[in-house]
Amino acid sequence: MPSTRYTTQFLLSALAAEQFPAPTVPEIAFLGRSNVGKSSLLNALVGEKAAKVSQTPGRTRAINFFALLDPRQQSKLIFADLPGYGYAKISKSISAEWPKFIDPYLAERGPLKLCVCLVDSNIPPQPNDGKLVDWLRHAGREFLVVATKTDRLSGNARTRNLLAIKKTFELDEVLPVSAKTGAGIKELWIRIEASSAIEAV
């Protein structure tokens, strides 16, 4: 778990770069295909509020920003929940909008310290996930691929699928997580705080 007990405060939903919050504290972005388990993971990381806000109709196409406040109510981190991309009908228009404000966000956002890229551990590596990883790599962004829903797999299948993800996307590491069991959540917090240069105590 995190070094501090954070409370989560919804900041805003942005549909254009002009609406992004003022860059103040380190920011962590969460990316993945629709249904990958992003809301569930955010829920496991910071509580229900973030997940609920991000799934509110009208906000699913936006970048939803959340401040994480320490016990003194000081903002320490921002989580940016990016729109799900992928295969659902609605995502077609999201993909069309991708270059307009997501691309510049990922390319230019100053305080962005880490992109957490979610991939589903239960299915074969998906080309659009690969595209995102390649894009981030070329943009020189720090990213971490997180394999979701690992509780659904037996030990052997998990090992096999994680290896396939690593190989296909040419990664040194993949972090397996389960929002359901909490596996990997602590490790993800350690990575988030390390990237943000927040001292774990």
How far is 156 from 139, CA to CA, in rounded Å? 34
Positions that interact with ligand GDP (CB under 6 A): 32, 34-40, 84, 148-149, 151-152, 178-180
How far is 68 from 76, CA to CA, in rounded Å? 6
Rounded-to-10 torsion of CA 176, 180, 183, 189: 90
Residue 201 beta carbon to ligand GDP: minimum distance, rounded to whole angstroms: 28
* DSSP string for residues in 135-169: HHHHHT--EEEEEE-GGGS-HHHHHHHHHHHHHHT
Residue 71 beta carbon to ligand GDP: minimum distance, rounded to whole angstroms: 28
Residue 186 beta carbon to ligand GDP: minimum distance, rounded to whole angstroms: 15
Name the helix (H) or strand (E) containing 96: helix 89-97
Residue 23 beta carbon to ligand GDP: minimum distance, rounded to whole angstroms: 26
- Residue 4 or residue 150: which is nearer to ligand GDP going by CB? 150
| Environment class of 97 (CB within 10 Å of its CB; exposed 0-12, middle 13-18, buried 19+) | middle
Residue 165 beta carbon to ligand GDP: minimum distance, rounded to whole angstroms: 16
- Residue 148 or residue 196: which is nearer to ligand GDP going by CB? 148
- Residue 33 or residue 76: which is nearer to ligand GDP going by CB? 33
How far is 31 from 64, CA to CA, in rounded Å? 12
**Tokens at residue 32, please?**
């993945």
